[in-house]
Amino acid sequence: MIRMVPTTPLTPRHDPWEPLFNATPPAYKLTSVELTVTNLCNLRCEHCAVGDTLRFKDDPALPVDLILRRLDEAEDLLTLSITGGEPMYSERTVREVILPILRYAADRGLRTQINSNMTLPFSRYEQILPYIDVMHISWNWSTPEEFLAIVYAKSGRTVSLKQAEQQFALIGENARKLAEAGVFVSAETMLNTRTWKKMDILHKQIQEMGCRRHEVHPMYASDFARDLQVLTLDELRSAIHSLLDVRNEEVWMLFGTLPFFACSPVEADRELIRRLREAKNVTVRNDPDGRNRLNVNIFTGDVIVTDFGDVEPLGNIQTDRLQTMFQRWQEHPLNQTINCHCPAVNCAGPNLLVANTYYPDTNFKQRKALV
């Protein structure tokens, strides 16, 4: 099999999804686009970021030619992510939507990522193998019993433990096969009340699946997860320190949407920031949402800033250019409340979820790095 992806390896020093990659704020560039290609999914995870939009049948999609034409107009584009729902759920979606978009990305030299739960037959994934850089998966469960409780939490139907055991095993099997084929498999764990005391176990399992990166993100109370309990800042700090104590230093650890900043007056925050900056193969990615990325819904054409559910669509690809809509967000009053940048530590500040959850009364624009 011939791989059609760019040959430059993805490494802690080369992460094109990072908003500050090839950009100097406040002049952010639209370097990343995320496409929502389906609202179908075979799971109903309790922490799902888009759980309220999931359906049992997709509407007709907009013409792929229109989507590609709009992508063509985004001159600074570096990365393309495909999400859902479960993008690989429908073979028709894979064949008629995902493959043409991935071929376009390969021809243009874009880096690509698909977000999948990896519970489908491997034949579904084989079709995209030549064109995919990163397969992004979730790993928030250490046993089939935990998997069953989490991924079917809001399904409204009874699922047997045997079926959960099969899917639990299939995720690992599919991940290993993709890794062996040269795909960069990246597993994300959400820090929440279920995971924060067992990060060592999850980290070991992720390595056993052949993943080249372990991503760690705190869970925030939004969408399906709006009623779930978020961790305190003390609990988050403890979980991260514990993970850093036992992690394999040869595995890339990527932390994102952390509520800890170099400008914090709290010494424990600054101590953690120093440790993260000095640790081998550890990066803290600034949040792409609202910085360098837009999300396009291929059914409605609406364009949003991902994860900011209270922000109305910035426009529609049927009438607007992506760059025009990106500029609208740059000038948006909500963006102005958090749009800070500290060049001393390459920090782009919090996104709205982080700010609203942990720092509702803090003006980050008035703070300076203390590390």
pLDDT at 67 exceeding the cut of 90: yes
For every residue of 216-285, DSSP letters joined together read EEE--S-GGGGGSPPPPHHHHHHHHHHHHHH--TTSEEEEES-S--TT-S-HHHHHHHHHHHHSTTEEEE
Give the residue-averaged pLDDT of 154-172. 93
State CA 221 to chain mean position distance: 16
Give the residue-averaged pLDDT of 89-112. 97
pLDDT at 80 exceeding the cut of 80: yes
Cα–Cα distance between 60 and 63 in angstroms, integer?
9
Q: What is the model's pLDDT at position 368?
A: 94
Task: State what percent of residues in the chain have pLDDT above 90.
Answer: 84
Give the residue-averaged pLDDT of 39-62. 89
Choose between 22 and 92: higher pLDDT: 92
Sequence-distant (6+) residues with CB within 8 A of 232 are none
pLDDT at 143 exceeding the cut of 60: yes
pLDDT at 27 exceeding the cut of 60: yes
Cα–Cα distance between 328 and 154 in angstroms, integer?
36
Give the residue-averaged pLDDT of 205-213. 98
90, 180, 287, 65 alpha-carbon torsion, rounded to 10°:
-40
pLDDT band of 23, cuts 50, 70, 90: confident
pLDDT at 150 exceeding the cut of 60: yes
Give whole-number Cα distances, 282 to 250, 271, 346, in Å: 10, 15, 15
Q: What is the model's pLDDT at position 336?
A: 87
pLDDT at 310 exceeding the cut of 80: no
pLDDT at 157 exceeding the cut of 90: no
* Beta partners for residue 282, in sequence order: 253
| Dihedral pair phi/psi, residue 100, rounded to 5° | -60, -35
Helices (H), the chain: 64-73, 91-93, 99-108, 122-126, 144-151, 161-180, 199-208, 233-246, 267-278, 322-330, 333-338, 352-358
Q: What is the model's pLDDT at position 37?
A: 97
- Give the range among 210-214, 274-278, 339-343 with minimum mean pLDDT: 339-343
| Of 92, 62, 57, 97, the residue nearest 80 (C-alpha) | 97
State CA 144 to chain mean position distance: 24
pLDDT at 307 exceeding the cut of 60: no
Q: What is the model's pLDDT at position 25?
A: 83
* Average pLDDT of every residue of the chain: 94
Q: What is the model's pLDDT at position 308?
A: 55
Report the Cα–Cα distance between both ends of the chain, in Å, rounded: 48
Choose between 221 and 30: higher pLDDT: 30
* Residue type present at position 326: F
- Give the range among 56-70, 305-319, 340-354 with minimum mean pLDDT: 305-319
| Of 14, 19, 15, the residue nearest 346 (C-alpha) | 19
pLDDT band of 50, cuts 50, 70, 90: confident
* Beta partners for residue 254, in sequence order: 215, 283
Give the residue-averaged pLDDT of 228-241. 96
Q: Are 113 and 134 in contact (CB under 8 A)?
A: yes
Cα–Cα distance between 137 and 178 in angstroms, integer?
12
Give the residue-averaged pLDDT of 292-305. 96
pLDDT band of 56, cuts 50, 70, 90: confident
Task: State what percent of residues in the chain have pLDDT above 70.
Answer: 98
Q: What is the model's pLDDT at position 309?
A: 59
Give the residue-averaged pLDDT of 167-186. 98
- Residue 122 backbone zone (phi > 0: left; psi -120 to 50: alpha; other: beta): alpha
Sequence-distant (6+) residues with CB within 8 A of 330 are 28, 339
Give the residue-averaged pLDDT of 107-132. 96
Q: Are 195 and 206 in contact (CB under 8 A)?
A: no
Question: pTM of the prediction?
Answer: 0.96
